[in-house]
Structures are given as structure tokens and as C-alpha cells.
Amino acid sequence: MALELNDRSVRISVRRLVEFLLRSGDLDNRITGAAKVDAMAEGSRIHRKIQKAQRAEYRAEVPLKQTFVRAGFDITVEGRADGIFPHDGHEIIDEIKGVYTDVLAMEAPVPVHLAQAKCYALFYAMDQDLAEVGVRMTYCNLDAEEEIRFFEESYSVPALAEWFEDILSQLLRWVEYLYEARMARNASIRPLEFPFPYRNGQRDLAVSVYRTAERERRLFIQAPTGIGKTMSVLYPSVKAVGEGLADRIFYLTAKTITRTAAEEALRTLREKGLSFSSVTLTAKEKMCILEKPDCNPVSCPRAKGHFDRVGEAVYDVITHEKEITRDVILTYAEKHQVCPFEFSLDITDFCDGIIGDYNYAFDPDVRLARFFADAPKEKYIFLIDEAHNLPARAREMYSASLTKEDILAAKRLFGKKKTRLTRDLDSLNRRMLELKRCCTEEFTAVDDIADLIGDADTLYSSMQKYADQHPEFEGRDAFMEFYFELRSFLNTWSLVDEHYRIYSEIDREGKFVVRLFCVNPVRNLGNCLEQASAVVFFSATLIPLPYYRELLSNQEEDYTVYVNSPFPQENRLLLLGNDVTSRYRRRGEDEYRKIAEYIRTVVRAKRGNYIVFFPSYFFMEQVADAFGDETDTEIVLQSRSMGEQDREAFLQAFEEERTGSFAAFCVMGGIFSEGIDLTEERLIGTVIVGTGLPMVCTEQKVLQEYFDRDGKSGFAFAYQYPGMTKVLQAAGRVIRTMKDRGVIVLLDDRFTHYEYRAMFPREWNDAKIVHIRNIGEYLERFWRGWERKDGRNGKDGSEEPDRVGSAAEEIEYVPFEEPV
């Protein structure tokens, strides 16, 4: 509901008040969702145009505000009337709405719009001591601006006051809930202690996060897997909320499994007495009761009357639950027969913490408008988990493509019909054909697409109107898919600046594409990050920091923390194989056999579970063939398409008892490269084949060219840095607790070169260079040493002394500096 609550003082806008309390009816995706977005974007211009056309006595944009004392709360409701003017001895409140629907066919104003105008009418009448006041609803079609429809009504002020009193009584129960929940939350936070004994470096890390919230800054944290990053950032953020330094925490992730870690951390704090509500947001496709989401009252019984029931559903869940997970949402959605996904979005208004994907804060098409559409009135903390994933995700969010073949496919839906819509499709197709004739190389930079944008915008308006006028027609799904592609292209065009490159190409499927490619997302991300009072980026692989700083933050004053590994180096053996490579020009049978021999040597050195990471599926399959059938080693290959159940079954294989070794062959950068937790005997070694360089393609070439022109190493930014991130993530699967022991073998001679060694984390200073003839000796020595220690200390090695240095030695908290 987006209200401000400061002790017993409440502030809320008229629009938010009526939209939350008075909405009703069905969810209906047959009325294009873009209509609201575009109407808001165009609204200011239409307002000014209509206001300027009024008589001299017309007063535009009149601020109105009233404060009501109810149940000990000072409730201030405020807004801005579009216009006020006298007519026939009465004062008239004018409310202007720009819409894409046919206004001449409207029979009555939209109830929520009328309610907004009635609030303004009451507030003005109270200020002016009027007994009666008029309301005029002015609707203007944003396509045909000459089409304007008026609805006028007069109201007695006592009747308006009685009507508004009912709204206040509905609001009051939400205010009372929020006040009591906030008091309980703050009282529970004050005595809250860190729930575990601090690991070395962990206390300093928590202090750094708290200072970041206190000083309203940004912090980059490079900390190894297993140090307890999730709790180390959540606990001080919760404490900051309790101290009034922030109002809400957004825990933002790239993968579902890291959302689970955040849920578990908050659950642990609740077990220690914390009263803190949180909601986990899940994609619509994973929440929908239908096989494929289709949000309209014809296709889905939950959509019919959803808004009539959802308010009670929200109140029910927030007054009974503090940990609102996907399963909790589904249970209450079933109870109240509402759409689970839309229900979950409404719950966010009443929660202290929101756990969800990056896109809820950053994606222009998905981000939570209720928090980010206007300048925030609250203080937010963004905790960005596995932040190394954000640059690539951001490029995807802020880029868009238009495909010529999709235009033709949309036109075929209408056969030989000649309409304005098909003419507009033809015009855009011809414009794309002109660009295609100029695309003579594998990709071609495009300097001027103003004409293309003009045709695309015209077509978009036609598609908008057609979709709203035809809720059902054959091929509507395909039509709407292209509609959203076109909308994304136009929205992205409004973001294009010097951080973009525009090019055309014939893609691998032979389709002609015009691409708006966001090479460096720092400005777009920066616009979103500015809406948070404090931001914490954290990951086990924010190396090298200058690379991530270049792409994620545009503030010079950012803090950085580097946490050394708390795990004894002797628990891990790091070997670099210098007589093999994954370079394209060297790939062949001989190289595949040599790599297979390396893997065979590693898994035979000690019986146990291993993961082998490869640069591609093809490479993995070739080495698997060269590996052959091993009687004492079972291998399993990651498949190209794995669902949730396949993934769980794959990981379950690490739990089985075997007489020999087990080796899982996986693709680097895939679903098993990060976010999986195989501790102790479940995983004792990882072999990483290749440097993880992204495949050469148009986007990578454009990236390289952009950073070269910017005076940086384009090859490093486009290939080496992203590749090394994948290597470090894969290597991080091995040592995750103090009891873990294992080997990490990097197979590629490039790992022995300076430019790659410079990207190693500090704790990799003990890496040893090996070749196929002597690697067995290193492995045997390592495992034999641990057999002796286990025999001396007991099987689990629990009496082994802690070899970690002091916390002060393990952490740095300094303004950003280039690493030496």
C-alpha cells in the first residue's frame, strides 16, 4: 500500500489509498498490461495539453491534503488535483486520465478513478467550507487525442465525508497491524545476538555491512564460500532496520537455491527471538495453477473476482505468518481462491524483507513499481547475492532485439486482410528489409534507426488497440508474444546512450535481427541502485574487483572488503596441468585422451566423489568417449536440458555408497557450477578443463571492441574475466566447511601464465604446476598425509588445531583501491 508510518503518524497518497482499498473485479491479461504503463508515461503530456485548453479560471495541479485523527493515529492523505474550476456557482474538481481504450464507448468512469477524484473533492470542500462540490472525470484517448469523454456528478459534502469515513475505517486496520508489527519487530531486534560463534573475519564483515547501512554507501564483498556470507550480511542489515537506518531489506539473487539460504538465515534469527516478516517471490510460471499462465476470467477461475478477495487474503497471511515462502503463498492462495503470483506481490507491501530474483529491482519490465516507480519514501537496503552474475543478467535486462521474421509471422496471422494493422506491419517489414540489404558482414553497426523506431512505434499503437478491441482471436498468443517483443524494443530504445551498441546481423537460424545491446549496464543499474539507501554486493568470485566496479557501480566512494579464506590451505591441494589445453586449434583426439588420462589419475588416487567441468557439452562428450568404461569409476554426464527433478536426481548420486569412485561430468557455468553444497565426503575433488572463456560470438566481439575503445583490455573484459569467474565458481564446490578436504585440478597451460595467475584469489598462492607424468605423485602425497593425520586425530580430524589467523588479519575495509 506504500504508506509512510513514523511512530503514530501516517502519510499516504490518495492514489495509493484508493487503488489498494477500492479495487475490484477480475484479473484480465486480455487487456494489455502495457496500456497502464504507457498511459502513465504519456499522462503528463496529455494533462498539460488538456489543462492549457481550459479557461483562464481553471487552476491546474492543485495540491490537497487533509489530516484525520483516528484511534490515536494522525493519518495524512495527500495528492494533487489535476484541475479545479468554477461552473454554475459550484466548484468542480477535474480528474484527467489518458487511456488507450475507446473513450467514446465508455458508459461510466472507472470506479477507482472516480474514487480518487471524490477524495480531492472532499479535501477541497473541507478547505473551502463548501456544502456541495462537483466532480468531472475527463478521459482522453492517447492515440486519437481529439477523442475526449466527460463524466460529471455533484456530491453533497456530508455524503462524501460519510463515504470517506468508511475508507478510513478500512485503512485503520492495516495501519494498526503495521504499527504493532513494527513495534514488535524493533523490540525483538534490540537484544538480538549473532546466532553462531563468529568465524574469523565474520564479525568484521558484519560490522562493515552495518557501517555501509549507517553511512548510506555501497559495499563490495569478496569472501570465499563457506564463511557464512548470507548470515553475515543479513544480521547487520536487520540490526540496521531496528535502529531506524532502513525500513526494508531486499535480498536479491540470481538463483532459487540462494533464496533458500536467505530464508534459512532469517528462520535461524526468528528462532533466536526475531519478529521480522519476509516474503519470497517466485516466478509466475512456477506459481500458476494452470499449465501455462493465462490470467483472465475465461481461462482461470482464480482470475475471476481476484481483486474482490485478495485484500482479505493478504490480511489473513500477514497476521498469521512471518516466513511467507512459496508454499505458504500457495496454501493461502488456495484458501482464498486468488492468483498466487499477484497475491505474493501485494504481500510485499507489508513485509520487512523481500527475497527474490534480481529482476524485481532492476528489470524495467518486471521491477516492483510499487516501490520503485516514484522516488522512494522509505530507506531500502539491497543485498545482492552472487553479485558476479549481475553484469550478464543486467545486459540481458537492458538489451532488446527486433526480428524481421517475427514481423512476417505476425502478419501471416491475418492472411490477406487489409487493415491499418497489416499496413503498419508491412511498413515495419520494409524498413527492416532496407537494413538487411546493408548488412553485408557477419554483423553491421547501425548508426541511425530513427525511421525504424518511428514505424515500430506506429505499429505498437495499432497492436495495442487491436489487442484491447479483440480479447479473443485465433493466434492471439503468438500475436501477444510479438507485441511484448516490440514493446521491449521500444522501451529499451528510450535507454540507449553511449553504453549501447546498435547492430544488425543474420543470426545462426538465418533470421535478420536488429539488436540494441547494452554493453555496459552501469548507468541503468545505477538508476535503480540510487533508489536504495545502501547496497551490498557480495560473492565468492568478485575478482578482479575493478572489473565488477566498472560494470556495477558508478560511485567512486564505494567500500570494498576482501575476506581471506578461513580454511587451512593444507586442506586443499591446487594443481595446474601445463601440458594440456582447451584452445580450439589444439582440440583433437590426442588432447581429449590426455585430459581423460588426467581425470583417470585424479579419481584413482583416492576413492570418492568428483566433479569434472568442461567448456562445452561437445568437449565433455568427446572426453567421456576417450575416458571409456572404467571398472572402478562410475561417470555420469550432465544432459543438455535438465528439469528440477533431473537436477535433484543428479545431485542425489553424490549420496550413494560405492566401492569405486564417482565422477560427474558437467559444463562450466551451468547449473552445477554454483549454488550446490556437497560437503565433506560428498565431494573430494574437482577437475576444471579450460579457462572458461565465453564462446566467440557477435556480442562478445562487440564487448571487446567497446572496452578496447574505452582504453581497457577488451579481451580481458569480454573473455578472461567472465571466464575466470566460472573457473572460481567451479573450484568453490570443493572446500565449504572446516572439515572438507579435497583437490582442485586446473587443466590448461594458460593457467600458468601471468595474466591468469594475477586473477587467482590470494589463498591460491600455493598452486603447483604439474604434468601428466608427475601429477600422481602430488595426489598420493596429499592423500597419504591426510590418512596419517586422520589416524592421529581420529577419523573426522576434529582435533586438528584451528590454523586461521586473527580476524583483523583476515579482513580489509578500505575505500576502493586498485590491487597491487
pLDDT in tens, 382-431: 999 999 999 999 999 999 999 999 999 999 999 888 899 999 999 999 99
Does a structural domain hold residue 155?
yes
CATH code at position 594: 3.40.50.300
For the sheet with 534-539, list strands across it.
Answer: 323-324, 278-280, 353-357, 248-253, 380-385, 534-539, 218-222, 559-563, 811-815
Does a structural domain hold residue 379?
yes
pLDDT tens figures, 106-149: 889 999 999 999 999 999 999 999 999 999 999 987 766 677 88
- In this prediction, what percent of the chain has a pLDDT beyond 90? 66
415 and 320 housed in the same domain: no
CA distance 248 to 271: 20
CA distance 62 to 388: 47
616 and 713 housed in the same domain: yes
CATH code at position 505: 1.10.275.40
Does residue 578 surpass a pLDDT of 80?
yes
17 and 106 housed in the same domain: yes
574 and 680 housed in the same domain: yes
pLDDT of 675 reads 67
DSSP output for 701-735: HHHHHHHHHTTS-HHIIIIIHHHHHHHHHHHTTS-
Residue type, 39: A
The grid coordinates listed for 756 are: 591468469
Q: Which of 518, 552, 579 is the last residue of a domain?
A: 518
Q: Is the peptide bond before 568 cis (omega within 30 degrees of 0)?
A: no
Residue type, 429: N
Q: Are strands 90-99 and 73-87 parallel, antiparallel or unpaired?
A: antiparallel
CA distance 190 to 766: 44
Run of H or E residues at 812: strand 811-815
DSSP 3-state percent helix, strand, coil across the chain (nearest 5) = 45, 20, 35
**Nearest of 9, 112, 133, 111 to residue 64 by alpha carbon:** 133
Q: Return all residues near 173 (Cβ < 8 A) that are at least 6 apart.
A: 315
CA distance 480 to 474: 11
Give the pLDDT band (50/70/90) at residue 649.
confident
Does residue 186 surpass a pLDDT of 50?
yes
Does a structural domain hold residue 429?
yes
522-529 vs 545-552: helix axis angle to the nearest 10? 70
Give the single-character DSSP code of 655.
Answer: G
Q: Could you list the residue range(s) of the whole structural domain that residue 450 is in?
A: 403-518
Q: Which of 322, 351, 380 is the last residue of a domain?
A: 351
Run of H or E residues at 649: helix 644-652
CA-based max dimension of the chain: 101
pLDDT of 785 reads 85
Does a structural domain hold residue 127?
yes
Does a structural domain hold residue 813?
no
Q: Which of 532, 566, 600 is the last residue of a domain?
A: 566
CA distance 109 to 105: 11
Residue with cell 608427475: 774
Backbone angles phi, psi at 141, to 5 degrees: -80, 125
**301-to-195, 298, 331, 468, 493 alpha-carbon distances in Å:** 45, 7, 16, 21, 38
Does a structural domain hold residue 295?
yes
**Nearest of 106, 141, 97 to residue 464 by alpha carbon:** 141
Does a structural domain hold residue 597?
yes
Does a structural domain hold residue 808?
no
387 and 501 housed in the same domain: no
Does residue 700 surpass a pLDDT of 70?
yes
619 and 760 housed in the same domain: yes
CA distance 306 to 313: 10
pLDDT tens figures, 362-371: 999 889 988 8
Q: How many domains is the chain built from?
A: 5
* 8 Å CB contact between 729 and 671: no
3-state DSSP call for residue 790?
A: helix
pLDDT of 652 reads 87
pLDDT of 724 reads 94
Mean pLDDT: which of 123-137, 219-233, 370-384, 458-472 is highest? 123-137
Q: Are strands 685-689 and 609-614 parallel, antiparallel or unpaired?
A: parallel
Q: Return all residues near 42 (Cβ < 8 A) that are at least 6 apart.
A: 98, 142
| Averaged pLDDT for residues 655-669 | 89
Burial class of residue 752 in the structure, from the number of CB atoms within 10 Å of its CB (0-12 exposed, 13-18 middle, 19+ buried): middle
* 8 Å CB contact between 378 and 532: no
Q: Return all residues near 320 (Cβ < 8 A) that are at least 6 apart.
A: none
Give the pLDDT band (50/70/90) at residue 681.
confident
729 and 613 housed in the same domain: yes
Could you give the angle at the alpha carbon of 265 between the alpha carbons of 263 and 269, nearest 5°?
115
157 and 169 housed in the same domain: yes
pLDDT tens figures, 69-99: 999 999 999 999 999 999 888 899 999 888 7
40 and 85 housed in the same domain: yes
Q: Return all residues near 644 (Cβ < 8 A) that are at least 6 apart.
A: none
CA distance 342 to 709: 45
pLDDT of 586 reads 87
CATH code at position 163: 3.90.320
The grid coordinates listed for 466 are: 487491436
The grid coordinates listed for 221 are: 564483498
The grid coordinates listed for 311 are: 485484500
pLDDT of 805 reads 30
312 and 218 housed in the same domain: no
Residue with cell 514493446: 487
pTM: 0.89
- In this prediction, what percent of the chain has a pLDDT beyond 70? 92
* 8 Å CB contact between 83 and 52: no
| Averaged pLDDT for residues 142-166 | 89
466 and 555 housed in the same domain: no
pLDDT of 50 reads 77
pLDDT of 813 reads 36
165 and 251 housed in the same domain: no
Q: Are strands 248-253 and 353-357 parallel, antiparallel or unpaired?
A: parallel
Does residue 817 surpass a pLDDT of 60?
no
Does residue 467 surpass a pLDDT of 90?
no
| Averaged pLDDT for residues 193-200 | 88
Give the pLDDT band (50/70/90) at residue 178.
very high
R_g of the chain, CA atoms, integer Å? 30
CA distance 177 to 11: 15
Give the pLDDT band (50/70/90) at residue 816.
very low
List 10's β-bridge partners, or say none.
Answer: 5, 75
The grid coordinates listed for 329 are: 503463498
* 8 Å CB contact between 739 and 797: yes
